[in-house]
Structure 1
Amino acid sequence: MNDVTLRLKGLTKTYLKGKPGEVQVLRGVDLDLRAGEAVAMVAPSGAGKSTLLHIAGLLDMPDEGTVEIGGQNVSGEGDRTRTALRRQDVGFVYQFHHLLPEFTALENITLPQLANGVPDKAAQARALDLLDRVGVAARASHRPAALSGGEQQRVAFCRALANAPRVLLADEPTGNLDPETSDQVFDTLMKLVRDEGLSALIATHNLDLAARMDRMVRLEGGVLRPVA
């Protein structure tokens, strides 16, 4: 828990800068995430949590500030390098599973590995292992439409972890699920975080789930503040 995997320093982001309707979303965000640590991020609607997750995950660029992964400043890298870093070092989970509907659960987890140069047999073995660990190995040959909501989200977790990233970023990962399923899926997510030694930043409106993580921060007024 001593190694900082993801470090955000002085992140700012303004939309429509210098134009009518200018909105300063981030005003100097700082955050350190350590290996095996799950941090809950709570925020009012429109506070900029998706913007922050996109910048942390190298999908967007800050106006100022840096993103460091594994001690390396990656925020200034070009598109090709950022894409490679994102594919290898960052996993994303969203409120909706976004699984490819024409592919099976197994294929949805195998494909990101193949795109990253992993041999087919090794990719399938990793996919099956992940599915087994989240309790849906028996559903490996099913397409997303044949899976329950909880099963779909578990498969989405597996896909996010397919390439063994260092960082997991999740945006309301249980938001589409009923309370009982949400609890079960959250427990699965936390076990994966611990087992894989991930640094996880999880945005959620569910304060009960947030309280079960290692710590909680609130994004408000463009900055992150700790929540006691």
Structure 2
Amino acid sequence: MSEAVLRLSGLEKVYNKGLQSEVAVLKGAELTLAPGEIVALVAPSGAGKSTLLHIAGLLDTPDAGEVEIGGVAMAGLGDRRRTIARRRDVGFVYQFHHLLPEFTALENIVLPQLAAGTSRRDAEARAHELLDQVGIAARADHRPSAMSGGEQQRVAFCRALANAPRLLLADEPTGNLDPETSDQVFRTLTDLVRGTGLAALIATHNLDLAARMDRIVRLEAGLVTAST
């Protein structure tokens, strides 16, 4: 059996710790993702799904518990090594594309690769390849404002996958799109994930999309449970 891409063990997270307004968001949450697996994360508003994604993606730290990516425990790593691991191993996609408006689609995909030490030539070749895979190669020189919402989100997917991460984390990636575009973008995303063999955890309120993933997990009362 392949080693888990992501393993979350006993995650706890409390906001306003020690105050009267203390809120325990995670209470021992656990989750494992295998290579090539697409998992839907479903949760009521305010249940902590964004917190879980941020901790899994090393953007936040838990009060207790462990995050392992590719079998490597992250808790003991210093800030620099965590940053390197996040840049190398994790890709993020959000509801809003967050593309840099002053740069073209190609440049938005090239920039994270340059930050990771890739040469400009190789970074541009990788960006062209990804744009071709998602069917918008002709948009390479367009800025975000000249693209549709679906095209913008496709560029965001390409940017997230630019450094060939092990893990993709997506927070409502189709939530800002109309139903038809949402379906098209979701198919693009799943094709990319299947083609690369990475693991994906996708938070969504769209139960129709969730049902098309490999499995559904729910975050309720601070715990991750399998969908029934």
* TM bracket (short chain): over 0.9
Aligned CA RMSD, in angstroms, stands at 0.8
Shift in Å, 1:3:
2.7
**Partner in structure 1 of residue 102 of structure 2:** 102
Secondary structure in 2 matching 1:4: coil
**Partner in structure 1 of residue 89 of structure 2:** 89
Give me the whole-angstrom Cα distance separating, in 2, the residues matched to 1:75 and 1:196: 27
Q: Counterpart of 1:188 in structure 2: which amino acid? A: T
Q: Counterpart of 2:223 in structure 1: which amino acid? A: V
**Partner in structure 2 of residue 170 of structure 1:** 170
**Partner in structure 1 of residue 206 of structure 2:** 206
Q: Are 1:70 and 2:70 matched, yes or no?
A: yes
**Partner in structure 1 of residue 48 of structure 2:** 48
Give me the whole-angstrom Cα distance separating, in 2, the residues matched to 1:11 and 1:82: 17
Secondary structure in 2 matching 1:88: helix
Give me the whole-angstrom Cα distance separating, in 2, the residues matched to 1:179 and 1:198: 26
Q: Counterpart of 2:58 in structure 1: which amino acid? A: L
1:7–1:67 contact (8 Å) kept in structure 2? yes
Give me the whole-angstrom Cα distance separating, in 2, the residues matched to 1:2 and 1:209: 26
Secondary structure in 1 matching 2:77: coil
Shift in Å, 1:20:
1.3
Secondary structure in 2 matching 1:145: helix
**Partner in structure 2 of residue 131 of structure 1:** 131
- Number of aligned residue pairs: 228
Secondary structure in 1 matching 2:45: coil
1:25–1:48 contact (8 Å) kept in structure 2? yes
Q: Counterpart of 1:25 in structure 2: which amino acid? A: V
Give me the whole-angstrom Cα distance separating, in 1, the residues matched to 2:7 and 2:214: 17
Shift in Å, 1:2:
3.3
Give me the whole-angstrom Cα distance separating, in 2, the residues matched to 1:170 and 1:196: 16
Q: Counterpart of 1:26 in structure 2: which amino acid? A: L
Q: Counterpart of 2:21 in structure 1: which amino acid? A: G
After TM superposition, the score normalised by the length of structure 2 is 0.99
Q: Counterpart of 1:160 in structure 2: which amino acid? A: A
Q: How much identity, in percent, do the aligned residues show?
A: 73
Secondary structure in 2 matching 1:59: coil
**Partner in structure 1 of residue 115 of structure 2:** 115
1:11–1:63 contact (8 Å) kept in structure 2? yes
Q: Which moved more, 1:165-174 or 1:77-86?
A: 77-86
Give me the whole-angstrom Cα distance separating, in 2, the residues matched to 1:16 and 1:123: 42
2:90–2:168 contact (8 Å) kept in structure 1? yes
Q: Counterpart of 1:175 in structure 2: which amino acid? A: G
Structure 1 residue ranges (4+ consecutive) displaced by more than 3 angstroms after TM superposition: none
Unaligned runs of 5+ in 2: none
Give me the whole-angstrom Cα distance separating, in 1, the residues matched to 2:23 and 2:172: 23
Q: Deviations over 1:25-82 (max 9, x none)?
A: 0000111101100000000000000000000000000000000011010123111111
Give me the whole-angstrom Cα distance separating, in 2, the residues matched to 1:28 and 1:162: 32
After TM superposition, the score normalised by the length of structure 1 is 0.99
**Partner in structure 2 of residue 32 of structure 1:** 32
Q: Counterpart of 2:224 in structure 1: which amino acid? A: L
Q: Counterpart of 1:179 in structure 2: which amino acid? A: P
Unaligned runs of 5+ in 1: none
